[in-house]
């Protein structure tokens, strides 16, 4: 199949559009609502408490990682698995991924080398905050910039 998927993504949502012969159609939507939760809703327990023997000092154990960062990595892996499955089913030929730089890095880190090879362009911008109509217009504009000819 000689088509391109344009993926618009941020930490909580990804929308996939299919472009073939100049026509743009909505393909799929992935969501990760856990990325919107507050820290205390993501982490199951409060920090642990420790005491130093022979001392009156106590303290709290602090988590080594940010819960939101972990959730972003989980969603990036979900996107990567989706793209890998679609690749093995020959659902796309090329990819254009649009995401803000930090999240794009997480997605890229999760991709297989075969999916990475399919990326023809990345745009480091979060388009997910746009209205639905603005998003569709942006996808059309991106597709025209990358595929100016309607040929085979």
Q: CATH topology for 4-146?
A: Nucleotidyltransferase; domain 5 (3.30.420)
Write the secondary structure of the chain as one string of H (helix), E (strand) and C (coil): CCCEEEEEECCCEEEEEEEECCEEEEEEEEECHHHHCCHHHHCCCCCCEEECCCCCCEEECCCCCCHHHHHHHHHHHHHHHHHHHHHHCCCCCEEEEECCHHHHHHHHHHCCHHHHHHEEEEECCCCCCCCHHHHHHHHHHHHHHHCCCCCC
Distance CA 28, CA 62 (A): 38
pTM above threshold 0.85: no
Residue of 49, 46, 63, 9 lying closest to 31 (CA atoms): 9
pLDDT 10s digits, 63-109: 556 666 788 899 999 999 999 999 999 999 999 999 999 999 999 99
Tokens of 17: 């559009």
Residues with Cβ within 8 Å of 101's Cβ and at least 6 positions away in sequence, in order, are 124
Residue of 70, 66, 137, 72 lying closest to 99 (CA atoms): 72
Residue 48: pLDDT over 90: no
pLDDT 10s digits, 131-147: 988 998 999 999 888 76
Q: How confident is the model at residue 2 (pLDDT cuts 50, 70, 90)?
A: confident
**Taking the domains of the chain in order of start, what are their residue ranges?**
4-146
């Amino acid at each position: 199949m000689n088509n391109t998927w344009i993926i618009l993504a941020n930490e909580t949502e990804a929308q996939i559009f299919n472009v073939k012969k100049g026509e743009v159609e909505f393909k799929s939507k992935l969501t990760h609502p856990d990325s919107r939760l507050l820290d205390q809703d993501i982490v199951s327990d409060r920090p642990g408490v420790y005491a130093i023997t022979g001392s009156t000092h106590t303290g709290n154990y602090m988590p080594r990682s940010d819960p939101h960062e972990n959730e972003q990595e989980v969603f990036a892996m979900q996107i990567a698995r989706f793209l890998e499955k679609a690749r093995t089913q020959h659902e796309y030929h090329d990819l254009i991924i649009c995401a803000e730089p930090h999240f794009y890095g997480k997605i890229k880190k999760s991709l297989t080398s075969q999916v990475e090879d399919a990326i023809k362009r990345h745009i480091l911008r979060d388009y997910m905050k746009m209205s639905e109509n603005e998003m569709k217009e942006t996808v059309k504009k991106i597709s025209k910039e990358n595929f100016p000819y309607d040929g085979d």
